Amino acid sequence: MLTSKLGGTTKQPFVPRGQGALFLEFLMPVNPQDDPYYRLRHSLAHVMAQAVLEIFPEGKVAIGPPIEHGFYYDFDLPRSLTPDDLGEIEARMRRIISGNYPFIYRVVSAEEARQLFKDQPYKLELIEGLAQGADEYGELHPDANGGTVISTYRQDTFEDLCRGPHLEHTGQIDPEAFKLMSIAGAYWRGNEKNPQLQRIYGTAWNNKAELDQYLWRLEEAKKRDHRRLGKELDLFSISDEVGPGLILWHPKGAMIRVIAEDFARQAHLNAGYEWVFSPHIGRAHLWETSGHLDFYKENMYSPMDIEGEAYYAKPMNCPFHIQIYKTHLRSYRDLPRRYAEYGTVYRYEMSGVLHGLTRVRGFTQDDAHIFCRPDQVEEEIGRALEFSLYVLRAFGLNEFTAYLSTRPEKYVGRPEDWDRATAALERAVEAHALPYQRDEGGGAFYGPKIDLKVHDALGREWQLSTIQFDFNLPERFGLEYIGEDGQPHRPYMVHRALMGSMERFFGVLIEHFAGAFPLWLAPVQATLIPITDKQLAYAEQVRQQLVAAGLRVEIDDSRDRMQGKIRRAQLQKVPYMLIIGAKEQEAGAVAVRMRSGEDLGPMPLAEFVARAVQEVQTRA
RNA sequence: GCCUACGUAGCUCAGUCGGUAGAGCACGUCUUUGGUAAAGACGAGGUCACGGGUUCAAGUCCCGUCGUAGGCUCCA
């Protein structure tokens, strides 16, 4: 299925662990029956193509489908478009719309179609596909034997190869409710070996209010952009000097990471995991055995030479954990073993795909590998999923969709193991009443998996957790345990990551909270604001008491006036501002102002401490 | 990696026709000691991403490199 490819559920041999694609739903073609905007957006794509061809009569058109929020059309034009061109194209589109041209449908034979589009090479290629029963994306539909029905739609002077449906006439389009958004390069049929076309993206809505609402949402998303907030709140940076895709965690960002890691570290201990550490590099032979040098080399950095021996920076942690497993002969009574590590891995990503914290070249996974007996699989999967939900919910992420990927045509391992594992995954998902989608045949060749995507405060989906079987590595490394029968058996192995990578997880948290972290995560929980220097000594006393209570506080002893200090703390999204003037000093109190702007007035210091400690403990 | 755009002070940005660099914030000093989102004055701060080229003269025009953004592709 086309959408499954775009959905980031393509087959992947080794565990992506949170470093898979973001879910770019914006780019997914939509189905006519699902989407009330389909006709509008599809029609606008045609109108845009007409407008572009008016400017470039020699231009070649490719395809132009509706997508979520809008539409695009791909062109092959004699020159590069500039953002200035969009204005003229929009103006021409409005003129076409005002003509109230009907969209006229007709069925043509393949021969007529070839004649009609004889100057349009991309259309001719599509027609050949259609004549052989493919759809416009080149996907074959076996039920369409003898060829797909070929049809066209025409409005005004522009006739396009199209199966529709469309609006009745252009007058049904609100000329104030669409906007051309951007120009991008796009390969013909999505293949980088094909010519690169120019794609124009547009957004379209039923009326101007809807358009404005959409544009407003884009602005809101911009304000939450973790790259922007990372700078404004001094959380992290990426230095050209260090290199792209490599994250520098500043003290405030690192504080949040440390809190998150500490929380999850304790949670893992409670859940029966054992912590391990492993090095960042390993000999080439290890990666040959694991198969990474066969299957994952594209993502690995060049080896370094150490005394004539090649070593690779690790792209995954699994081979190291396997080595730890192999240091003993394991009894069936020793299983399951659950090895957890915040493991930092390095993967080559093409420069064009790097993005803030969510797509990087070096990152730390909250990784774990579970080695267990076949009869323990069911319970281990259930526990892993339960645990994943527990951890994510602790961070205020409460909405999830699960994706279950099953056995592909090419696979390793025994079918009965696959069936058992897949059934275990399915039961686990159903037991938690999670909404889920099955991707039949979408699993990796080495095992089925569940991916969890979380929905953030703006409803956007992010892939973080993954729980994945591996029938490959135990085989390659010859893993064994001694069973009750005194014979060696092969253990099951499960990879899992909950937060995914700390980098991406942090990025999602920043955007989810728009930088206003809940008290337990806030790097600075309270700013003490003395009104005059006369209160500095008292402020220091207060600070020490708050620190003793386990709170993270700063004194703003700058020369600014109180208003300026409040403003600064507010912009830094500090949860509490504690104003200290003569009155508070006198009373042994602090005047509490919250980040929301609410003024709680003066309260005894002990009362504030109790309140804050309670808030931290409940992770409210 | 590919397409397009962009790269000027720590940050956000201006810089016209090619004529040797500007603002606000932040920073420093001084004055001001204040009651819930910015007190005032002065000052310091630049290899205009980097490297070439054109020109009497380049932040500005051209080429290359690096980086960033939005896409594409990739995420075996």
Q: Which helix (H) or strand (E) holds A224?
A: helix A208-224
Q: What are the backbone angles phi and psi of residue A153, rounded to the nearest 5°?
A: -125, 140
According to DSSP, residue A29 is labeled: B
Q: Which residues, listed in sequence order, are joined to residue A436 by a DSSP beta bridge?
A: A402
Residue A281 is encoded by which pair of tokens? 């590099």
CA(A69)–C1'(B44) in Å?
50
A515-559: per-residue pLDDT in tens? 999 999 999 999 999 999 999 999 999 999 999 999 999 999 988
Residue of A315, A465, A263, A462 whose CA lies nearest to A381: A465
Using DSSP's 3-state secondary structure scheme, residue A526 falls into strand
Lowest mean pLDDT among A48-52, A148-152, A582-586: A148-152
Q: Report the distance separating Cα A399 and Cα A394, nearest Å.
A: 12
Q: Which is higher by pLDDT, A207 or A31? A: A207
Report the pLDDT value the prediction gives residue A532, as an integer from 0 to 100: 92
| Measured distance between the N- and C-terminal CA atoms of chain A, rounded to whole angstroms | 42
Is any atom of strand B within 7 angstroms of residue A7's beta carbon?
A: no
Report the pLDDT value the prediction gives residue A30, as an integer from 0 to 100: 58
Distances (CA, A) of A224 to A128, A229, A398, A487, A496: 46, 7, 19, 57, 29
DSSP assignments along A115-170, one per residue: HHTTT-HHHHHHHHHHHTTB-TTS-B-TTSTT-PPEEEEEETTEEEE------SBG
Residue of A526, A525, A553, A542 whose CA lies nearest to A585: A542
In chain A, pLDDT over 70 holds for what percent of residues?
A: 92
Single-letter residue type at A210 = E
Largest CA-CA distance found in chain A, in angstroms, rounded: 94
Report the pLDDT value the prediction gives residue A139, as an integer from 0 to 100: 56
- For residue A1, pLDDT over 80 is answered with no
Report the pLDDT value the prediction gives residue A33, as an integer from 0 to 100: 62
User: Which residues of chain A (182-201) touch nucleic strand B at CB < 7 A?
Assistant: 182-187, 190-192, 196, 198-199, 201
Which pTM does this prediction carry?
0.88
In A353-460, DSSP assigns E strands to 362-372, 399-405, 436-439, 449-455
Q: Report the distance separating Cα A118 and Cα A112, nearest Å.
A: 10
- For residue A5, pLDDT over 50 is answered with no
Distances (CA, A) of A80 to A154, A200, A481: 27, 12, 63
Alpha-carbon dihedral of residues A288, A294, A297, A302, nearest 10 degrees? 40
User: Which residues of chain A (26-85) touch nucleic strand B at CB < 7 A?
Assistant: 26-27, 80, 82-83
Q: Which helix (H) or strand (E) holds A555?
A: strand A553-555
Residue of A132, A151, A167 whose CA lies nearest to A42: A167
Report the pLDDT value the prediction gives residue A17, as an integer from 0 to 100: 28
Residue A425 is encoded by which pair of tokens? 């995954």
Cβ contact A488:A479 at 8 Å: no
User: Which residues of chain A (566-605) touch nucleic strand B at CB < 7 A?
Assistant: 566-567, 570-571, 577, 579, 581-584, 591, 593, 597, 599, 601-602
